[in-house]
Amino acid sequence: MTFAEAAAAIVAAGRRMDAQGWVPATAGNFSARLADGTIAVTRSGCHKGFLGTDDVIRVDAAGAPLDPGARPSYETLLHCGIYRRFPGAGAVLHGHSVANTVLSRRAGSAIRLAGYELLKAFPGGPTHDTAADLPVVDNDQDIARMQAGLDALWDATPDAPPGYLIRCHGVYVWGADMDAALMRLEALEFMLLCELEDGRRTP
């Protein structure tokens, strides 16, 4: 993927996620890995529903901006951590829906999703008759420290997770390209909304 292609895909993803209410105000950040190993990522402080291609910048694999003075998303190191850990990841999406935020506040170390048809959207889920554990990690303004905790979690987990939640904050998902990442996010958000609605009906 070229930078121009990545920027266009990121802009389109922002509009799609904004239409769903998953990136309110300046919430969320998106990225795509480029053919040369650098990363296209959203600038800090932009409303993701109104992105232009000039709101996307390039950083190196360690998250350092390649354009002097450019300010990438504050959480760029989390994107870099995903690309470093999962070689097949080509795009990363981070959003803040009501369902993922509320459920992350209530959860322990993971949310188990079981029996949903849309689990087919995740690796290892060829049928609905399966389950996936979505890790939930505590929020931390020290992004490098949070990424170190995620690396430790992934080291201890044999199977790649479908994504992860940051408590009281939002969700991270990834895929081979932007379309795959969006499909995974939409499937996950649907299941999380089902979990939220189910919890409201539980006496």
Task: Return the pLDDT at 88.
Answer: 93
How long, in residues, is the chain? Answer: 203
The pLDDT assigned to 159 comes to 77
Closest CA to 167 of 150, 152, 154, 184: 150
User: Any idea which residue has 């803040």 for tokens?
Assistant: 96
What is the pTM (predicted TM-score) of this model? 0.94
pLDDT tens digits for range 140-181: 999 999 999 999 999 998 777 889 999 999 999 999 999 999
For residue 19, what is the domain's CATH number?
A: 3.40.225.10
The CA distance from 194 to 192, in Å, is 5
169 is in an annotated binding site: no
Q: In what order do the strands lie in the sheet with 164-166?
A: 56-59, 39-42, 29-33, 91-95, 170-175, 164-166, 131-137, 110-114
Average pLDDT per 10 consecutive residues for the chain, totaling 203 residues: 96 97 95 97 95 96 92 94 95 97 95 91 70 93 95 86 93 96 96 89 47
For residue 147, the number of C-alpha atoms closer than 13 Å in the C-beta half-sphere is: 17
Q: How many domains does the chain have?
A: 1
Q: 86: buried, middle or exposed (CB in 10 Å: 19+, 13-18, 0-12)?
A: middle
User: Regarding beta strands 56-59 and 29-33, do their DSSP bridges make them parallel or antiparallel, or are they unpaired?
Assistant: unpaired
SS (H, E, C) 180-200: HHHHHHHHHHHHHHHHHHHHH
Distances (CA, A) of 35 to 1, 32, 38, 132: 6, 10, 7, 31
Q: Which domain holds residue 136?
A: 3-201
